[in-house]
Amino acid sequence: MSNSSFLLSLSSSIAKRVCLCGVKAEIKTSWTQLNTGRRFFCCKTSKMRGGCNYFDWCDDKMPPQEKRVMWGLLKKVKSFDEEKNRSRKLIVICVGEIVILARWNFFKKCS
C-alpha cells in the first residue's frame, strides 16, 4: 500500500467515525504525560451538555521513548514560556521605576 493510499484510507475511516449520538466524531490530541501527542475520537458535545461521552483512540500506542522525548520537549516549551513571562514582568517593573525616578528627578529640579 502506497503512502498516498494509506492517507486516503485513514481519512475515509476518520470520516466514517460516528459517536453514539449519531454525530461525526471529533478528533483531538491528548497532551497528558501518559499519552502525549496521541490522537483520539470523541463526542463533539460534552457530557455535561448531554453528549454520549464517546471515546476511541485514533492512533496506535506510542513507544515509551517517543513519549519521553515529546513530554520533555513540552516541559521545555512550558519552562521557556514561564521564563519569558517573568522577563516581561521584570521589564515592566524596571520601566516603571525608571519613569518614577525620571519624574522625581524632574520635579526635584523644578522646585
Residue 8 has pLDDT above 50, yes or no: no
Whether 14 contacts 21, CB under 8 Å: no
Tens-place pLDDT, residues 39-97: 899 988 877 787 888 998 987 777 888 878 888 888 899 899 999 999 999 999 999 89
> Three-state DSSP class for 38?
coil
Q: CA-to-CA distance for 79 and 73, rounded, in angstroms?
A: 10
Residue 74 and residue 11: Cα distance in Å, rounded? 27
**Lookup: cell for 82:** 514561564
Query: Residue type for 66, please?
Result: E
Q: Is 32 helix (H, G, I), strand (E, B) or coil?
A: coil
